[in-house]
């Protein structure tokens, strides 16, 4: 088992991404963007999802270049609204090579910060 955690300052995240639809589309899936944009405070939700990506990379123990692209890590929601992670492309391959078979994620945010904790599990 490996654990990764990341904390994102919402205002700094918004300043980096606001007005950059190209960068948002390069980082998040269409489903993630639609969900976050439908929320009363979309930047908090986006920052939490970005924190989840960073936390997953920390748990894996590699940088992004070794694992794929930002969109290779996707935060999903189950029918009850609980977050989950789906790994695509290079990230899925990196996890398989490292022997990780499943994951869990916890997200939280306030008006100023978003945090994510990711746990990767081996067989």
For the chain, give the number of residues: 123
pLDDT at 76: 97
For the cut 70, the answer to whether the pLDDT of residue 12 exceeds it is: yes
Band of pLDDT at residue 68, cut at 50, 70 and 90:
confident
DSSP-based three-state secondary structure for 47: helix
Tokens 């929601």: give the residue: 77
Range scoring the smallest mean pLDDT among 1-10, 90-99, 113-122: 90-99
Vertex 24, ends 20 and 25: CA angle to 5°? 115
Task: Report pLDDT for 19.
Answer: 95
Give Cα separations from 120 to 5, 26, 32, 95, 96 (angstroms): 12, 24, 21, 9, 11
The larger pLDDT score, comparing residue 64 to residue 61, is at 61
The confidence band for 66, taking pLDDT boundaries of 50, 70 and 90, is: low
Summarize the confidence of residues 68-94 as an average pLDDT. Answer: 94
In this structure, how many other beta carbons lie within 10 angstroms of the beta carbon of residue 58?
19
Using CA atoms of 56, 74, 95, 17 in order, give the dihedral in degrees to the nearest 10.
Answer: -50
Q: Is the pLDDT of residue 97 over 80?
A: yes
Q: How confident is the model at residue 67 (pLDDT cuts 50, 70, 90)?
A: low
Which domains can be identified in the chain, with CATH numbers? Answer: 2-122 (3.90.470.20)
Neighbours of 4 (CB within 10 A): 22
Asked if pLDDT for residue 57 goes beyond 90, the answer is: yes
Phi and psi, residue 22, nearest 5°:
-65, -45
């Amino acid at each position: 088992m490996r654990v990764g955690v990341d904390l994102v300052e919402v205002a700094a995240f918004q300043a980096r991404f606001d007005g950059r639809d190209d960068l948002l589309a390069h980082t998040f899936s269409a489903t993630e963007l639609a969900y976050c944009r439908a929320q009363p405070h979309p930047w908090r939700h986006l920052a939490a999802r970005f924190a989840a990506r960073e936390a997953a990379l920390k748990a894996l123990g590699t940088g992004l270049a070794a694992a794929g692209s930002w969109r290779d890590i996707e935060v999903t929601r189950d029918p009850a609204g609980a977050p989950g992670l789906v790994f695509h492309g290079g990230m899925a391959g990196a996890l398989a090579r490292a022997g990780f078979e499943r994951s869990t994620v916890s997200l939280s945010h306030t008006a100023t910060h978003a945090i994510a904790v990711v746990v990767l599990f081996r067989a």
